[in-house]
């Protein structure tokens, strides 16, 4: 099992030194040929033009794609970096590739740093003061790790002295209720279940009412896996969210996903918007990225998912035991993406 710290451990600072040419560095005679060749592409030009930036951007796009960033996202990012640099003056003694890399790094940090921070423990406390259970709904395609990571979140909440109840609202896949029951038993927390073939929206409603009665501070709602194109199942999810107005809609996605990350997340959001009975539909609030232990340095799904949804990665699942849940380290991800 690989730890996130292992994934990000690198000697990339040495690479950066290779690329940077500091203002103080004095090119001696020996370095001259190498030194002047670096500036060939912009010789005589006052400002950076798109053509000057293209080779460096192409190399960067390829690098992002080898890290499993969806092609569409890598492309868009390069376009925005190009737009931010076009017409600017290149700082003296600086390579175009370093300038492009620095602009990309800035863009990546900006994208991955949440604009609105969601502090679950604070929000749980606020809900408690209003005498309401805090409700999280776990959604996503089949087999990505919704139920397993729901149990990890339950464990994390228990560690923070928050009382939790599970709601077995995957009333679709056989074995789903028993799977959740096993986690509930191991973690010694209550579970609300009504078997199969019930309307999951109604089961969730009853679970929340039960939590209000028995004083559970948080309800974690498991839902059936569904493909983003499956209209009846997306409609049922939209109903569950409309009827229960959860505090947090958590999209669970695999870190293994490449180009499909864009399709999954954009269609989940699109369908939740289109199929909702509400004029003001709820969309995905946050992302839980799973199977991070299996991807080595291919951390691109984190970027693709945040870029396409604008939602923060709230947790990262990195193994199969309850303790394998972490927070995303933005700096480390950016470093790995650019390595
Ligand atoms: N290596 C690894 N495996 C994981 C992780 N999270 C979940 N899994 C495994 O992924 C498989 C599917 O997990 P589930 O939690 O059943 O997935 P699900 O999304 O609830 O599946 P459905 O309910 O069928 O849609 C199981 O074998 C889990 O042990 C993780 O972070 N790392
Ligand atoms: Mg499940």
Residue 40 CA, ligand 1 centroid: distance in Å: 52
Question: Which residue is closest in CA terms to ligand 1's atom 24?
Answer: 143
Please name which of 184, 175, 234, 179 lies closest in space to residue 207, comparing C-alpha atoms. 184
- pLDDT tens for 73-113 read 999 999 999 999 999 988 888 889 999 999 999 999 999 99
Q: Which chain residues have CB less than 5 Å from ligand 2, an ion? A: 146-147
> What does the pLDDT read at residue 191?
98
Burial of residue 70, with CB atoms counted within 10 A of its CB: 0-12 exposed, 13-18 middle, 19 or more buried: buried
Mean pLDDT check: name the lowest of 64-68, 92-96, 211-215, 257-261: 92-96
Dig out the tokens for 121 from the structure: 């423990």
24-29: average pLDDT: 42
What atom of ligand 1 comes closest to residue 317's alpha carbon? 31
Question: Which residue is closest in CA terms to ligand 1's atom 11?
Answer: 145
Residue 145 CA, ligand 1 centroid: distance in Å: 3
Residue 151 CA, ligand 2 centroid: distance in Å: 10
- pLDDT tens for 252-288 read 999 999 999 999 999 999 999 999 999 999 999 999 9
Domains of the chain, with CATH numbers?
Answer: 4-112 (1.20.120), 120-329 (3.40.50.300)
Contact by Cβ (8 Å): 95, 38: yes
Nearest-5° Cα angle at 242, 237 to 245: 110
What atom of ligand 1 comes closest to residue 324's alpha carbon? 31
CA dist 311 and 250 (Å) reads 10
> What does the pLDDT read at residue 137?
98
CA dist 305 and 258 (Å) reads 10
DSSP for residue 334 = H
């Amino acid at each position: 099992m690989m730890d996130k710290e292992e994934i990000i451990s690198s000697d990339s600072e040495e690479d950066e030194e290779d690329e940077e040419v500091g203002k103080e560095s004095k090119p001696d005679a020996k370095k001259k040929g190498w030194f002047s060749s670096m500036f060939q592409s912009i010789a005589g030009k006052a400002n950076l033009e798109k053509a000057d930036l293209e080779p460096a951007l192409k190399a960067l796009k390829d690098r992002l794609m080898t890290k499993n960033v969806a092609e569409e996202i890598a492309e868009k990012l390069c376009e925005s970096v190009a737009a931010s640099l076009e017409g600017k003056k290149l700082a003296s003694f600086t390579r175009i590739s370093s300038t492009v890399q620095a602009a990309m790094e800035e863009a990546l940090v900006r994208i991955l740093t949440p604009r609105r921070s969601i502090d679950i423990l604070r929000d749980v406390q606020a809900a408690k003061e209003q005498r309401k259970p805090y409700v999280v709904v776990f959604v996503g395609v089949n087999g990505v790790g919704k139920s397993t990571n729901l149990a990890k979140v339950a464990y994390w909440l228990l560690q923070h002295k928050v009382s939790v109840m599970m709601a077995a609202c995957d009333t679709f896949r056989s074995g789903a209720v028993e799977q959740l029951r096993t986690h509930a038993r191991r973690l010694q927390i209550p579970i609300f279940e009504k078997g199969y073939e019930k309307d999951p929206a109604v089961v969730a409603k009853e679970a929340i009412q039960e939590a209000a009665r028995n004083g559970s501070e948080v309800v974690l709602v498991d839902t059936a896996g569904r493909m983003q194109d499956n209209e009846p199942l997306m409609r049922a999810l939209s109903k569950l969210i409309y009827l229960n107005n959860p505090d947090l809609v958590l999209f669970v996605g695999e870190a293994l996903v490449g180009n499909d990350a864009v399709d999954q997340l954009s269609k989940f959001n699109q369908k939740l918007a289109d199929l909702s009975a509400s004029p003001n539909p709820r969309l995905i609030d946050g992302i839980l990225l799973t199977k991070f232990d299996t991807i080595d340095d291919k951390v691109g799904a984190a970027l693709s998912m945040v870029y396409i949804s604008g939602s923060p990665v709230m947790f990262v699942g990195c193994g199969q035991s309850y303790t394998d849940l972490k927070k995303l380290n933005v700096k480390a991800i950016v470093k790995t993406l650019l390595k």
